[in-house]
Amino acid sequence: MTEPGLVVDGLTVEIPTSRGVVRAVRGVTLSVAPGEAMALVGESGSGKSMTCRAIVGLLHPPARITAGAVRFQGRDLAGLSEPEFERIRGTGIAMVFQDPMSALNPVLTIERQVAEALPAASSPPRERRRQVVALLRQVGIADAERRLRAYPHQLSGGQRQRVMLAIVLARRPAVLLADEPTTALDVTIQAQILKELRRLQAQLAMSLVLVTHDLGVVRQTVQRVAVMYAGQVVELAPTAALFARPRHPYTAGLINSVPSVDRRAALAPIPGTPPDPVGLGDGCAFAPRCPIASAECLRGEIPLRAVADGHWSRCLKAHVVGGARVAGTAAQGS
């Protein structure tokens, strides 16, 4: 075990389409230490979910990994056969999905779906049932016994997400990838589920990769943030540093577009739309929407460079961002 935790190195995912090859994930490099919580942030289509799917080996064809490596506890996962991967999934790396309605099988009972996640060493049915009830209680499902025979459609959205967490708890994974676990829920329920997720992370001492587009969630939950845009990580930083001084204009734009109580700034959505995923060139993909872009931004690949200790940015003008304010938006702030 030379490398503990999860290391993603230059991961590239491509999808051949009728219009050309879409490079949905372009050379993503990340690492998550054991017990660490980090977030993958970006708009939909930025490649964050695809990155997670690639990590757990659940890409849907024709999407496939074309370059890079995913190493888990020092072992490269990209080349594993399906049976080998099955031994990693669940207990090694697990993933929960955005919509708990569609992520639970509609024709199987809750008990069945939780029980099948229990360690294979078979215990008598009564014991297993007791374990399922205990798991459901732990994630905050009150009348757990009565819920055993329920089907997913008979539960509320929050309860279904709790069932998913119970399943994770049964598996005790080393790394959990949570793909927008609260997006489909009401705001009040969101907070509860996040709390549950944090508790779970602490209890199992697992690594957490939280995929979200909600910066508010990020702030409360994780230690480190990777911001993705057009399939690339454009900024990677400790949470506090990122919010204090974003070093990529896209991140700055995201932060400015979030309503917050402590800042009376007018909401400033980022102008423009994300780029066409087909035929992305070398230069900065954000340049067309960027308030401080210049001609050099479109010339050649821009590397991810350290701008401070543990703070990385894929912007040529990282030194200008944040400090000199992002034109037009931050000017009205404070």
Partner 1 sequence: MTTLAGELAPPRAARTRVPTGLAAGATMLLALLGASALAPVLTSYDPYAQNLNAMLLPPSAAHWFGTDNYGRDVFTRVLYGAAIDLRIAVLAVVFPFVFGAVAGAVAGYLGGWVDAAVMRAVDVITAVPFMVLVIAIVAFLGPGELNILVAIGVVDWIVFARLVRGEVLRDKHLEYVTALRALGFSRARIVLRHLLPNALPPAAVFLASDIVLVILTTSALGFLGLGVRPPAPEWGLMISEGRAFIYTGWWAAAMPGFACMYAGIAFILVGDGLADLLRVRGQ
Partner 2 sequence: MLRYALGRIGQTVPIALLVTVLIFLLIKLVPGDPASAILGDRATDASVAALRHQWGLDRPIWQQYAVYMRNLATGNLGQSLRYQSPVADMLPARTAVTFFLVVYSLVLSVVIAVPLALVAAAYRDRWPDQVIRASMALPLAAPAFWVGILLLIVFSLKLRLFPADGYGAGFGDHVRHLFLPALTLSYAFASVLCRNLRSSLVDVLQTAYVDFARAKGLRRRVVLFRHVFRAALLPAVTLIGVRLTYAIGGSVVIETVFAIPGLGSWMVDSILARDYVVVQTLTLMFALGTMLINLATDLIYPLFDPRLRMG
The secondary element (H helix, E strand) that includes residue 222 is none
The listed partner (partner 2, partner 1, none) that binds 214, CB under 5 to 8 Å by sort, is: none
Under 8 Å between Cβ of 148 and 129: yes
16 binds, among partner 2, partner 1, none (CB under 5 to 8 A by kind): partner 1
How far apart CA 190 and CA 152 sit, in angstroms, is 18
* Contact of residue 169 among partner 2, partner 1, none (CB under 5-8 Å per partner type): none
User: Binding partner of residue 17 among partner 1, partner 2, none, CB under 5 to 8 Å per kind?
Assistant: partner 1
The residue ranges that bind partner 1 (CB under 8 A) are 15-19, 22, 24, 44-45, 47-50, 53, 60, 62-63, 277-278
Which residues are CB-contacts of 108 (< 8 A; sequence separation ≥ 6)?
151
Calculate the dihedral angle through the C-alpha atoms of 188, 194, 200, 206, rounding to the nearest 10 degrees: 170
Q: How far is the CB of 205 from partner 2 (least distance, A)?
A: 19
Contact between residue 84 and residue 72 where contact means Cβ atoms under 8 Å apart: no
In the bound complex, what is the minimum distance in angstroms from residue 207's beta carbon to partner 2?
15
Partner in contact with 9, chosen from partner 1, partner 2, none, beta carbon below 5 to 8 Å by kind: none
CA of 257: how far to CAs of 183, 252, 266, 268, 271, in Å?
A: 17, 9, 9, 5, 10
**CB-nearer residue toward partner 2: 171 or 314:** 171
Residue 75 C-beta: closest distance to partner 2, Å: 15
Strand order in the sheet with 20-32: 20-32, 6-17, 64-72, 75-76
Closer to partner 2 at the Cβ: 117 or 287? 117
Residues 26 and 280: beta-carbon distance below 8 Å: yes
For 247-292, the three-class secondary structure string (H helix, E strand, C coil) is CCHHHHHHHHCCCCCCCCCCCCCCCCCCCCCECCCCCCCCHHHCCC
**Do the Cβ atoms of 63 and 14 come closer than 8 Å?**
yes
Q: Which residues bind partner 2 (CB under 8 A)?
A: 53, 56, 58, 60-61, 82-83, 86-92, 94-99, 102-109, 112, 116-117, 151, 153, 164, 167, 171
Give 11 or 234: the residue with its C-beta nearer to partner 2: 11
Q: Least distance in Å: CB of 111 to partner 2?
A: 13
Closer by beta carbon to partner 2, 81 or else 334: 81
- Closest contact distance (angstroms) between CB of 22 and partner 1 is 6
51 vs 239, which CB is nearer to partner 1?
A: 51
What is the secondary structure of 94-144 as a DSSP string? EEE-S-HHHHS-TTS-HHHHHHTTS-SS---HHHHHHHHHHHHHHTT-TTH
Partner interacting with residue 323 (select from partner 1, partner 2, none; CB below 5-8 Å by kind): none
Find the shortest distance in angstroms from Cβ 97 to partner 1: 10
Q: Which does 63 bind (CB under 5 to 8 A by kind): partner 2, partner 1, none?
A: partner 1
Name which of 64 and 299 has its Cβ closer to partner 1. Answer: 64
Q: Smallest distance, Å, CB 95 to partner 2?
A: 4
Residue 45 binds which of partner 2, partner 1, none (CB < 5-8 A, kind-dependent): partner 1
- Residue indicated by tokens 């009150």: 142
